[in-house]
Amino acid sequence: MTEPSTGGDPIADYIAAGTWQVASQLNGDPRPAAPGVPLVELVAARARSLAHGAVGACSTRDVATAITIAQRILRSEADALIAVDVLVGIILEGLPRGALPPGVVIEPPVARPTGTDQDAADWRLAIDLTTTLLTGFATDDPQLVTEGLAALRGDAALDVLIVLVKAASARIESFVALNGDVIDAYDTFQRQHLDQG
């Protein structure tokens, strides 16, 4: 079994290499995919990297790459579940899972379209399904989590994953903005303090 190359697409090369490593072990190739690293850890690391890559693409407004990565994540149920865990973790950062009482609803910070066309309806459905998933994790409601995860097997899977990616990107951007404000306030204080001192 020879390691594949996709002819210069770095994302495709990365996925192909990870898939080749997994497939080589599953097909009985005696060479380890990565010496000393269990196969399940390689799959998890790849899925986490893809989730982070999709968020990074969204954060830099590279929507086409974010969609491409999301499509690749959805090729594997394991990748999709791990990616969802990563994205939900970013969105709910600082909020222990199960910390909120039943009845609380967590909506993703994504604009809800008001149009009447099919695209707007599909996007609203994806936001609703993502809300179900986030609320399920935040309130530790297994029924809501199951309903939300079931969307990853349906027609709305890509839209739900993109909503999660956009929400995670928005969450990270809020931390970056807050960090900028904190640093600016510190610099202002230092300048004022040094002027007085």
Is the pLDDT at 160 greater than 80, yes or no?
yes
Among the ranges 24-28, 92-96, 140-144, 191-195, which has the highest mean pLDDT value?
140-144
- Binned at pLDDT 50, 70 and 90, residue 13 comes out as very low
User: Which own/partner pairs from 39-47 qualify as long-range (CB within 8 Å, at least 24 positions apart)?
Assistant: 42/18, 43/18, 43/76, 43/78, 43/79, 43/82, 44/82, 46/14, 46/15, 46/18, 46/79, 47/73, 47/76, 47/78, 47/79, 47/80, 47/81, 47/82, 47/83, 47/86
The answer, yes or no, to whether residue 119 has pLDDT greater than 50, is yes
Q: Where are the domains of the chain?
A: 38-196
Question: b or e along 139-166 (b: 16 or more beta carbons within 10 Å of the residue's beta carbon)?
Answer: bebeebbeebbebbeeebbbbbbbbbbb
CA distances from 151 to 1, 156, 171, 183 (A): 35, 6, 22, 41
Mean pLDDT of 162-169: 95
Tens-place pLDDT, residues 136-154: 999 999 899 999 999 989 9
Confidence of residue 37 (pLDDT cuts 50, 70, 90): low
Over residues 60-104, the pLDDT tens digits come to 899 999 999 999 999 999 999 999 999 999 999 888 777 788 888
Residue 111 has what pLDDT? 87
Does residue 179 have a pLDDT over 70?
Answer: no
Q: What is the pTM of this model?
A: 0.72
**pLDDT at residue 197, as a whole number:** 57
